[in-house]
Structure 1
Amino acid sequence: MEKTERSLVGPISGVSLEKTQAFLAQFWHGFRMKLQSFLFFRGLIYVIIGFLLGRAFILSEIVPFALPFFGAVMLLKKDRALLAAFSLLAGALTISSEMVIIVGFSIFIFLFVHKMTIFFYNDRFKALPFTVFFSLLATRLLYTYFMNGFLTLYDYMMSVVESGLSFILTLIFLQSIPLISARKIKQVYKIEEIICLMILLASVMTGLIGINFQEIQAEHIFSRYVVLLFAFTGGASIGCTVGVVTGLVLSLAHIGNLYQMSLLAFSGLLGGLLKEGKKIGAAVGLLIGSLLLTLYGEGSANIWTNIWESLVAVMLFLITPKSLTERLAKHIPGTYEHTLEQQIYARKIRDVTAHRVDQFSNVFRALSESFSTFYPNDEIDDDRETDLFLSNITEHTCQTCFKKDKCWTQNFDQTYHFMKQMMQEHKENTYHLNRRLKRDFNKYCSKSHKVEQVMEQEMNYFRANQKLKKQVKESRRLVAEQLLGVSQVMADFSKEMKKEQEHHFLQEEQILEALHSFGVEIGHIEIYNLEQGNVDLEMSIPYCNGHGECEKIIAPMLSDILDETIVVKHEECASFPNGFCQVSFGSAKTYCVETGVAHAAKGGGLVSGDCYTMMELGAGKYALAISDGMGNGERAHFESNETIKLLQKILQSGIDEKIAIKTVNSILSLRTTDEMFSTLDLSIIDLQDASCKFMKVGSTPSFIKRGDKVIKVQASNLPIGIVDEIDVDVVDEQLKAKDILIMMSDGIFEGPKHVENHDLWMKRKIKELQTHDPQEIADLIMEEVIRTRSGRIDDDMTIVVAKIDHNNPKWASIPVSKYTKAKKIG
């Protein structure tokens, strides 16, 4: 029994603990939400700020805070203006009756002047500072005159000073009140906004002057708490800035607080520098700063008072919820929380964008399926086509014939057989040759000649209709393939967007350590990808004065660290000597391609029917293409050029090679009814593994020279545009280093005169080549072909030569230190 009870204690206590924690978390969340609602939506925040600003004054008699606050609240939150006015009067009442009169009278005059200003100037934001200035100036002068009966130069001067300060504070409160009163602040604080917010908080803290307990001043406690809070969340620079601003405002309020400016600034600096020690480190920084400045400023007389004030501020700071410091840090640039918040926001935007791209991809895919699906009504079967065709003929012939009943009622099968056989013969254009059928039909039908004439006419319409249907079907197929290709491209783009940007903090530290140990100064480094063969990173380095430090030193060191060849992809030099250069590094391709081209038009003319292109497709692929338009001259050049341009644009968009070629064929075949065709010879080389895809559409063979061996690559397809739908044959070949790929048009392949076997002749000439330079090979082969023609160029000639070789880096890798090699980056 004891064992049973003991076994139940653990689970029960565990469950109760979890329930207690969940209850406390839920209670704290509900309490925080209710407190925020009470502060911001019920207006308690305006009551607290208004009450303390109503108590605030500087230089013993100037009250420039109350009216700017009321004016800003009335402009930004008009429904809270009455609440702000009563809180200001309540705060002033705790100081003196004179303060209540000044604040109340200034609010009254402000309302009157504000009403008058609206009639003359519509922009209330620009008019508000001037309205506050003149309202407070009139209030101060009228009050002084009624109290003393006269005005001195000192009265005028102090009135102008007070009104000028209210003018500036109005501008500051217009910027800072939205920051402190909004429930959710999404924007990032600028330095100017932080200063405005600090001036508002310091102004509020001046309202705490006079509140003390055994010489412990409330304004000192809360000013140090605010400085400590901002130093911990924003760092040393923010802490020092907040300390200076807060101390300046407090010193203006009371001359005895003059030393507080240096104390708060130094404490904020130390607190920010020691923030790496969490809250305890920042608190120690405040205690050290306040202790040192107290000893230096006032000696040991008030040391215990200042220590107690700092300790109370530290206690308030330690009990401050972590959620408050994190929320504040999210809006201060440079903090980790702000960076994380920006990353979360960027990830949300990326996810939303990727989702939209997926939706568009699905739409295009659905459209493609819709265009590629043919319903039964779209493809009429042969029997129905025959019936429709024969019904049109009988409508014009048999309907008016006196033997209609005999032919179509009594002898329906025989009549239908005759008509169907004639229709088939007309389709094949063999009816006039079938004398037996004509003779039998003439004997059977009394209007045979009319039937034959009508059938021939209807057959022309039938053929035109069939051709139109075929073109519509081909157009639908073309649109379906293009939509499917666009859908695939967008789906791939969405996948790339969904890839998480990995954090490579450890790798960044290792690279920085390795480069610094070598004596290379780096501003910053950002790693985007460390995938083998797809490395992508950026650096900022000091101005190198054009010495090539990135290419000669940094890239070779990165090659050793990352265990692969790294090269400079892009470099943007600094515009002045003390600046930084922005450099992008990436993986070098395993293979490189060196090309050469020889090109000549028929008869030595300027316009050739052949066109060619050599281009990088991205993703480590290189494409070579030759297109030969039918015939010569401008029209052939136009056809081949259009083929190459369309192919280049479609391939660069990321669409599959087969779909690209089919799309080009469909476009060219549907664009014109002229008998103009063009061949296409396309080779795509993968620069990572040297694999090559050959796609030949009506083109001549290509050749691969590998040492003393010559390999022929051939495929059989009709030229582009000659048929509506083609099947692209893809020939895969694995290339090797030092291989030479030779592509040519028919003017080169079939150009040699008095040659029966062009394959053997071309192989022999390629095998006899003594050079490995692509340009020399192209020139020599073309020269050999022209020489066989006695110097004449009887056709357009184009030859493209590509040499595949290992991509040897210009600079060898530089070994890094033994320590860094031990922590090799993967």
Structure 2
Amino acid sequence: MARVERNLVEPIVNARLQGGRAAGVNWIPAIQMKLEDIFFKRGLFLALIGFLLGRALILSQLSPFGLPFFAAVFLMRREHAPLALLGLLVGAFTNSIVSGVTLFAAAFILLLLNKIKTPAIESHFKTMAVYVLLSLGLADLARQYIMFRSVNIYSGMMIAVEAGLALILTLIFIQCIPLMTVRIKSQALKTEEIVSVIILLASVMTGTIGWVAYGLSIEHILSRYLVLLFGLAGGAAIGSTVGVVTGLIFSLASVTSMYQMSLLAFSGLLGGLLKEGKKIGVSIGLVIATLLMGLYGEGTNNIMITVYESFAAILLFALTPTALLGRIAKHIPGTVEHTNEQQQYMRKVRDVTAQRVSQFSHVFGALSESFSHIDESSKAEEDEKELDYFLSNVTEKTCQMCFKKEQCWTSNFHTTYDSMQEIMHELNDNDGQLSSQTTKEWGKYCTRSPQVIAAISQELNFFQANQRLKRQVHESRKLVADQLRGVSAVMEDFAKEIRRERQNHHQQEEVILEALENFGLQIGNIDIYSLEQGGVDIEMSIPDCQGRGECEKLIAPMLSDILGETIIVHSEQCTTFPGGQCVVVLRSAKKFTVETGVSHAAKGGGLVSGDSFTTMDLGIGKYAVAISDGMGNGERAHLESTETLSLLQKFLMSGIEEKIAIKSVNSVLSLRTTDEIFSTLDLAMIDLQDAKAKFLKVCSIPSFIKRGEKIIKIESSSLPMGIIPEFEVDVVSEDLKAGDLLIMMSDGVFEGPTHIENVEFWLKRKIKEFETEDPQEVADLILEEVIRVKGMIDDDMTIVVTKIMHNTPKWASIPVQPKRKRA
């Protein structure tokens, strides 16, 4: 329970002491710690609340507040329960001795019931509320019988009402106390939770009924202060709710305060409506409500007292630190403070997530550096050691039993070593053949020349196998390093995307809103994330257009004129219920677009082709076209080429650079099986922003670009995928233009008719003769021409034709007034 008092008073204490800290006064923290020790740790604040609740009455005779408060403290902070009970008893005895004795008896019965049957953990709240009902009911019955020796119907009804209210208040107090004991930083309070807190505060203020200072009612001042506080923190809805609840409890406590409910509710409503004026606006709302309701409720007799009470509440409100208002507003949904708190919390979560992703990216980067790092000095030293081991094995087989060993390896070590090394290199370079001159010279020097040469030749086979294995390991390390580097880059880009935040473009938002609203369009909300040229990103909510296409036909064309570039609808989420809001995302249109036509045929007119193709929009302004040809024909070749493209697509869609993606696919294919099943790959990556294209060809045939009457050939050479774990991918770059036709084909098409000597020239001539520029028609015509000239389909054939075009929006831009255009 210590956390209850701490959270209620600490904001006020901190705010009042903030100025002292700014001035650098050293004794401020000591005073703060002393106050915290007295009020919070020792439970003095609980005793003060208990004193006021012990005094609180309903209908001048019912006191249902004290026992529920004691039960809540007993459950939540049992160590402070005696002090809370002491405060309750003192407050009750200030009303009458009978009230104090009744409360003490009820508390004793409550503890007795709890001792007899301790509530289960899963239902201890409800069980404690029932115990409060029974305890207060038995204590009141005993009091009624002792004082009057009888219990009539009226008395029984009043006892039942008081016990029932106590049961409800127990559940309310238990619900309120955890909200104030735990420091909630980002959780919003529900409406019923706010009402419960107000009931507790109003119940506490009920204990001040009858207190008067200079002719002014303390309860009136405190109730209006409470309305001012929540009116500014939560707005009209919360302010009026606080006024109604507080006024209702006051009217139950004293019938003469009935008009206060209207005054407080009206004050909360006006103050909330004028909250933009801060404390002054809310205070003006209270003054207006006081004058109107004062004249209506009590005439002109006591209006000056009512006004003075309101001004006293305003004075207390003016002295309230702004920090306290901010803390209250943070927990009320819909307020600016709550929104900022939620955004700050989400920003922290986003930053932590982005930081973790970035850390993983750095880990992968470090692993990549570790795999790719090769110390040249250590590599040279290792090569020298391997040569020593090589010659040691040779000498072990030949020189150990030779009578000239001492002369060769002691007296002439360097000569013998260099000669044997020269023989090894010559055998290695000449496929195991040694020149006659070297054989003759070595025969003069060594008495066991044939045996030594044979031993060197035999050891050389093992040495070469070891070197091949080392190269494969080195190439595998390099591939792993490239893959890790690619993953690191993707994760770093993902971390940057997570950190992507809505930018402040208030002026541009006003310009766009003004232009659209003047055009007659209703815009609910607009968020601008980026206004960079070619990278515009805007999100807005609009009322349901019922399928009229306002986003594509009106909003996007108007934004195109305002921003000076073509804007298109990227995505749209329509509402699922009448009167809802649709969310639309508008982004910059790419300068180029592509249209693809495909024509293919299986060997012998079959249904399954060993060729596969795919076209994919990578979502980052790039478009990929790929053809893969599996080795041979039929189902096995089809599965091989299909899996090659499937793996490639997954790598490319993840954001990995295309060269690393192709190497990774090759690594998977080469390690997956020992069967000699290979596939080719022909990949074209087209940048839709500037029409630059990269061609990556893995054992694929040339491609052609038709630009008017000009035919451009694109070719490269490398081994098929899956043969060796590591190979270099040649990248050919070419700037495409609008109207270009990119023609890619498999080897079944390029091999062409057998009676044609120069198939490449024949294909170029045929492509140049085509009058149509429709990609599908061009693909069909090429396939038809090849089959007609061949007379048969002797291999799988696939042709993919891609046309590059300027991106012309479907709807023209709608001009707006020049003053609205972006500078």
Q: TM-score scaled to structure 2, two decimals?
A: 0.91
Partner of 2:646: 645
Higher mean C-alpha displacement, 20-29 vs 261-270: 20-29
Partner of 1:276: 276
User: 2:561 touches 2:821 (CA, 8 Å); kept in 1?
Assistant: no
Partner of 2:679: 678
In the alignment, does 2:637 pair up with 1:636? Answer: yes
Superposition pairs of residues 476-491 of structure 1, within 5 angstroms: 476-491=477-492
Task: Flag structure 2 segments of 5+ consecutive residues without an equivalent.
Answer: 1-18
Partner of 2:210: 210
Q: Using the alignment, how far apart are the partners of 2:30 and 2:601 within structure 1? A: 83
Q: Using the alignment, how far apart are the partners of 1:561 and 1:785 within structure 2? A: 52
Higher mean C-alpha displacement, 336-345 vs 233-242: 336-345
Higher mean C-alpha displacement, 476-485 vs 651-660: 651-660
Partner of 2:309: 309
In the alignment, does 2:498 pair up with 1:497? Answer: yes
Q: Using the alignment, how far apart are the partners of 2:37 and 2:529 within structure 1? A: 42
Specify the SS of the correspondent of 1:94: helix
User: 1:632 touches 1:795 (CA, 8 Å); kept in 2?
Assistant: yes
User: Is the alpha carbon distance of 1:330 and 1:35 closer, same or farther for their aligned partners in structure 2, counting shifts above 3 Å?
Assistant: farther
Partner of 2:156: 156
Partner of 1:5: none
1:144 Cα offset (Å):
1.9
User: Is the alpha carbon distance of 1:184 and 1:552 closer, same or farther for their aligned partners in structure 2, counting shifts above 3 Å?
Assistant: closer
**Cα deviation code 1:568-606 (max 9, x no counterpart):** 222222223333333222222221111111122222233
1:507 Cα offset (Å):
3.2
User: Is the alpha carbon distance of 1:400 and 1:637 closer, same or farther for their aligned partners in structure 2, counting shifts above 3 Å?
Assistant: farther
Q: Using the alignment, how far apart are the partners of 1:23 and 1:413 within structure 2? A: 85
User: 2:44 touches 2:83 (CA, 8 Å); kept in 1?
Assistant: no
Q: Which amino acid aligns with 2:587?
A: G
User: Is the alpha carbon distance of 1:464 and 1:575 closer, same or farther for their aligned partners in structure 2, counting shifts above 3 Å?
Assistant: same
Q: Using the alignment, how far apart are the partners of 2:582 and 2:787 within structure 1? A: 53
1:378 Cα offset (Å):
5.6
Q: Which amino acid aligns with 1:191?
A: T
Partner of 2:56: 56
Q: Using the alignment, how far apart are the partners of 1:554 and 1:41 within structure 2? A: 61
Q: Using the alignment, how far apart are the partners of 1:174 and 1:527 within structure 2? A: 45
User: 1:571 touches 1:582 (CA, 8 Å); kept in 2?
Assistant: yes
Partner of 1:114: 114
Partner of 1:192: 192
Q: Which amino acid aligns with 2:759?
A: H
Specify the SS of the correspondent of 1:726: coil
Partner of 2:468: 467
Specify the SS of the correspondent of 1:618: coil
Partner of 1:103: 103
Q: Using the alignment, how far apart are the partners of 1:380 and 1:782 within structure 2? A: 59
1:630 Cα offset (Å):
3.4
Q: Which amino acid aligns with 1:193?
A: E
User: Is the alpha carbon distance of 1:511 and 1:122 closer, same or farther for their aligned partners in structure 2, counting shifts above 3 Å?
Assistant: closer
Partner of 2:236: 236
Higher mean C-alpha displacement, 339-348 vs 390-399: 390-399
In the alignment, does 2:818 pair up with 1:824? Answer: no
Partner of 2:396: 395
Q: Using the alignment, how far apart are the partners of 2:120 and 2:240 within structure 1? A: 44
In the alignment, does 2:84 pair up with 1:84? Answer: yes
User: 1:121 touches 1:127 (CA, 8 Å); kept in 2?
Assistant: no
Partner of 2:625: 624
Specify the SS of the correspondent of 1:258: helix
Superposition pairs of residues 411-810 of structure 1, within 5 angstroms: 416=417, 419-420=420-421, 423-424=424-425, 427=428, 430-431=431-432, 458-790=459-791, 792-810=792-810
User: Is the alpha carbon distance of 1:33 and 1:688 closer, same or farther for their aligned partners in structure 2, counting shifts above 3 Å?
Assistant: farther
User: Is the alpha carbon distance of 1:665 and 1:183 closer, same or farther for their aligned partners in structure 2, counting shifts above 3 Å?
Assistant: closer
Q: Which amino acid aligns with 1:117?
A: K
Q: Using the alignment, how far apart are the partners of 1:361 and 1:275 within structure 2? A: 48
1:778 Cα offset (Å):
0.7
1:210 Cα offset (Å):
0.8
Q: Using the alignment, how far apart are the partners of 2:496 and 2:59 within structure 1? A: 65
User: Is the alpha carbon distance of 1:296 and 1:743 closer, same or farther for their aligned partners in structure 2, counting shifts above 3 Å?
Assistant: same
User: Is the alpha carbon distance of 1:530 and 1:132 closer, same or farther for their aligned partners in structure 2, counting shifts above 3 Å?
Assistant: farther
User: Is the alpha carbon distance of 1:366 and 1:183 closer, same or farther for their aligned partners in structure 2, counting shifts above 3 Å?
Assistant: closer
**Cα deviation code 1:383-439 (max 9, x no counterpart):** 432321232244345545677556655675676566545544654574467677778
Q: Using the alignment, how far apart are the partners of 2:464 and 2:583 within structure 1? A: 66
In the alignment of these two chains, the number of paired residues is 804
Task: Flag structure 1 segments of 5+ consecutive residues without an equivalent.
Answer: 1-18
Q: Using the alignment, how far apart are the partners of 2:20 and 2:246 within structure 1? A: 42
Higher mean C-alpha displacement, 95-104 vs 402-411: 402-411
1:196 Cα offset (Å):
0.8
In the alignment, does 2:261 pair up with 1:266? Answer: no
Q: Which amino acid aligns with 2:152?
A: T
1:269 Cα offset (Å):
0.6
Q: Using the alignment, how far apart are the partners of 1:824 and 1:68 within structure 2? A: 65
Q: Using the alignment, how far apart are the partners of 1:313 and 1:20 within structure 2? A: 26
Q: Which amino acid aligns with 1:356?
A: R
User: 1:45 touches 1:181 (CA, 8 Å); kept in 2?
Assistant: no
Q: Which amino acid aligns with 1:322?
A: T
Q: Using the alignment, how far apart are the partners of 2:615 and 2:319 within structure 1? A: 69
Specify the SS of the correspondent of 1:278: helix
User: 1:40 touches 1:183 (CA, 8 Å); kept in 2?
Assistant: no
Q: TM-score scaled to structure 1, two decimals?
A: 0.90
Q: Which amino acid aligns with 1:217?
A: S
Q: Using the alignment, how far apart are the partners of 1:83 and 1:364 within structure 2? A: 60
Query: Once the two structures are aligned, what percentage of the paired residues are identical?
Result: 59
Higher mean C-alpha displacement, 37-46 vs 484-493: 37-46
Partner of 2:326: 326
Q: Using the alignment, how far apart are the partners of 1:551 and 1:126 within structure 2? A: 57
User: 2:680 touches 2:698 (CA, 8 Å); kept in 1?
Assistant: yes
Q: Using the alignment, how far apart are the partners of 2:386 and 2:85 within structure 1? A: 90
* RMSD, aligned CA: 3.0
Partner of 1:132: 132
Higher mean C-alpha displacement, 499-508 vs 312-321: 499-508
User: Is the alpha carbon distance of 1:293 and 1:27 closer, same or farther for their aligned partners in structure 2, counting shifts above 3 Å?
Assistant: farther
User: Is the alpha carbon distance of 1:795 and 1:27 closer, same or farther for their aligned partners in structure 2, counting shifts above 3 Å?
Assistant: farther
1:465 Cα offset (Å):
2.6
Q: Using the alignment, how far apart are the partners of 1:694 and 1:37 within structure 2? A: 75
Q: Using the alignment, how far apart are the partners of 1:122 and 1:340 within structure 2? A: 36
Q: Using the alignment, how far apart are the partners of 1:578 and 1:22 within structure 2? A: 52
User: 2:476 touches 2:725 (CA, 8 Å); kept in 1?
Assistant: no
1:271 Cα offset (Å):
0.7
Higher mean C-alpha displacement, 42-51 vs 478-487: 42-51
User: Is the alpha carbon distance of 1:693 and 1:174 closer, same or farther for their aligned partners in structure 2, counting shifts above 3 Å?
Assistant: same
Partner of 1:13: none
1:255 Cα offset (Å):
0.8
Q: Using the alignment, how far apart are the partners of 2:720 and 2:530 within structure 1? A: 43
Q: Which amino acid aligns with 2:300?
A: S
Specify the SS of the correspondent of 2:243: helix
1:52 Cα offset (Å):
1.0
Q: Which amino acid aligns with 1:360?
A: F
1:250 Cα offset (Å):
1.0
Specify the SS of the correspondent of 2:618: strand
Q: Which amino acid aligns with 1:586?
A: R
User: 2:186 touches 2:345 (CA, 8 Å); kept in 1?
Assistant: no
User: 1:36 touches 1:183 (CA, 8 Å); kept in 2?
Assistant: no
User: Is the alpha carbon distance of 1:33 and 1:564 closer, same or farther for their aligned partners in structure 2, counting shifts above 3 Å?
Assistant: farther
Higher mean C-alpha displacement, 287-296 vs 445-454: 445-454
User: 2:186 touches 2:341 (CA, 8 Å); kept in 1?
Assistant: no
Q: Using the alignment, how far apart are the partners of 2:395 and 2:673 within structure 1? A: 36
User: 1:617 touches 1:652 (CA, 8 Å); kept in 2?
Assistant: yes
User: 2:629 touches 2:746 (CA, 8 Å); kept in 1?
Assistant: yes
Higher mean C-alpha displacement, 22-31 vs 113-122: 22-31
User: Is the alpha carbon distance of 1:40 and 1:526 closer, same or farther for their aligned partners in structure 2, counting shifts above 3 Å?
Assistant: farther
1:721 Cα offset (Å):
4.0
Partner of 2:16: none
**Cα deviation code 1:57-98 (max 9, x no counterpart):** 112221111111111122222222222111111222222212
Q: Using the alignment, how far apart are the partners of 1:313 and 1:32 within structure 2? A: 26
Q: Using the alignment, how far apart are the partners of 2:710 and 2:761 within structure 1? A: 13
Higher mean C-alpha displacement, 397-406 vs 345-354: 397-406
Q: Which amino acid aligns with 1:745?
A: S
User: Is the alpha carbon distance of 1:498 and 1:581 closer, same or farther for their aligned partners in structure 2, counting shifts above 3 Å?
Assistant: closer
